């Protein structure tokens, strides 16, 4: 599909997405297009459907109606192989830091020398050079999340989904991860990230998707949404009011 639409590089789209559970409509996104440069940040109160949307976009949850489109074509296995996701709690193998990266690179079919070089590059990218031999399970929260992001980046994804990757981290650890995200974005990786941190959205977002009650209530350029939100739900959320 990418070859058919060369003028639409890495365009991700939700089209008529609906997710229901136990007769309740949890996600209802008629149309959402992510085709601009720079990170897309998804904001909204607890239970707004942010994680559900992320999981649908990554194909982890099958919607009851609608579809996810990548470059105009329905999301398929080849597209999914070019996506990666990082969760709030990093899921790491009970092996060394290097071995966690090596595991992914082996699956990509890289030979020993290429893997060794790539691991060094990745460790440097995440500031984990001195931790290569340490057990991944013994890393600090920030280091573990950096490793989880490196492992996702090792896949060479076109799109990286991040679900509140810094919510449990202190400001210094958050800053390192934000820098990694911005570098990946500058290299052309599409970033779609959920956060509750309005400051983080201000620092990272090119565009912001505001959600409430399973719906996208506003989507626009970050500056526009943050400084002049168009809908009341966005205004209330940004003002720190309790929204249900």
Which residues bind to ligand ATP, rule: CB under 6 A? 21, 26, 44, 46-52
Tokens, residue 189: 């990786």
Q: Please, what is the minimum distance in Å from the beta carbon of residue 24 to ligand ATP?
A: 7
Q: Smallest gap, in angstroms, from Cβ of residue 71 to ligand ATP? A: 25
Per-residue CA distances from 165 to 11, 32, 70, 86 (Å): 23, 23, 24, 7
The whole-angstrom separation of Cα 137 and Cα 73 is 39
- Provide the minimum distance between the beta carbon of 148 and ligand ATP in the complex, in angstroms, as a whole number: 18
Cβ of residue 163: shortest distance to ligand ATP, in angstroms? 7
Distance (Å) of CA 152 to CA 57, 63, 157: 16, 24, 7
The terminus-to-terminus CA distance of the chain in angstroms comes to 40
Of 177 and 210, which has the nearer Cβ to ligand ATP?
Answer: 210
Is residue 108 within 8 A of residue 183, CB to CB? The reply is no
Q: Closest approach of Cβ 220 to ligand ATP, in Å? A: 19
Q: Hey, which bits of the chain come out as E strands?
A: 12-21, 24-34, 40-43, 65-70, 73-74, 83-86, 159-163, 190-194, 207-212, 215-221
Q: What is the per-residue burial (b if ≥16 Cβ within 10 Å, else e) of 113-139? A: eebeebbeebbebbebeebeeeebeeb
The distance of closest approach from Cβ of residue 44 to ligand ATP in the complex, given in angstroms and rounded to an integer, is 6
Instruction: Tell me how far apart the alpha carbons of residues 120 and 105 are, in angstroms, rounded to a whole number.
Output: 12
Q: Is 24 or 133 the residue whose CB approaches ligand ATP more closely?
A: 24
């Amino acid at each position: 599909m990418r070859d058919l639409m060369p003028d639409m590089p890495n365009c991700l789209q939700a089209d008529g997405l609906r997710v229901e559970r136990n007769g309740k409509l949890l996600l209802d996104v008629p149309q959402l297009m992510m085709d601009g440069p720079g990170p897309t940040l998804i904001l909204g109160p607890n239970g707004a459907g942010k994680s559900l949307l992320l999981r649908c976009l990554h194909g982890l949850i099958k919607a009851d109606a609608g579809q996810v489109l990548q470059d105009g074509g329905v999301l398929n296995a080849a597209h999914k192989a070019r996506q990666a996701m990082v969760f709030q709690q990093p899921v790491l193998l009970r092996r060394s830091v290097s071995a966690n990266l090596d595991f992914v690179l082996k699956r990509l079919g890289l030979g020993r020398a290429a893997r060794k070089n790539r691991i060094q590059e990745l460790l440097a990218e995440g500031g984990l050079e001195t931790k290569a031999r340490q057990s991944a399970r013994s890393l600090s929260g920030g280091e573990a999340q950096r490793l989880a992001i490196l492992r996702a980046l090792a896949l060479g994804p076109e799109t990286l989904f991040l679900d509140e990757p810094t919510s449990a981290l202190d400001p210094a650890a958050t800053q390192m991860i934000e820098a990694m995200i911005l570098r990946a974005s500058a290299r052309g990786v599409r970033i779609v990230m959920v956060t509750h941190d309005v400051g983080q959205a201000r620092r990272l977002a090119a565009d912001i998707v505001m959600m409430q009650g399973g719906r996208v209530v506003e989507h626009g350029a970050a500056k526009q949404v943050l400084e002049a939100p168009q809908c009341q739900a966005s205004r209330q959320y940004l003002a720190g009011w309790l929204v249900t």
